Amino acid sequence: MMSILVIEAEYDGKVLIPKEPLNLPVGTRVSLSLHVQQDVEERLQKLHALWRYAEEHAVDAPALDNEALRRENLYEDRL
């Protein structure tokens, strides 16, 4: 039988160190699925880079006025 235990840990360069003690016998075999948490500053830098890219590669498209966006002008009514 497999049970799931979610823990937080920190990597010290060689091993993962759990934030809390694990209630597991020595020698217990486990499978790991890692979800790496990004630093907030790193995430903000990526978002800024994405925003700059979007600004630099913006497409000039004609603006649509409210009349052009009315349902009657977008779809043919079907009987």
CB 9 within 8 A of CB 19: yes
Tokens of 27: 């020698």
For residues 74 and 68, give the distance between their C-alpha atoms in angstroms, rounded to a whole number: 7
**pLDDT tens digits, one per residue of 13-24:** 999 999 999 989
For residues 7 and 52, give the distance between their C-alpha atoms in angstroms, rounded to a whole number: 36
For residues 63 and 69, give the distance between their C-alpha atoms in angstroms, rounded to a whole number: 11
Q: Which amino acid, 28?
A: T
**pLDDT tens digits, one per residue of 6-56:** 899 999 999 999 999 998 999 999 998 888 887 888 888 999 999 999 999
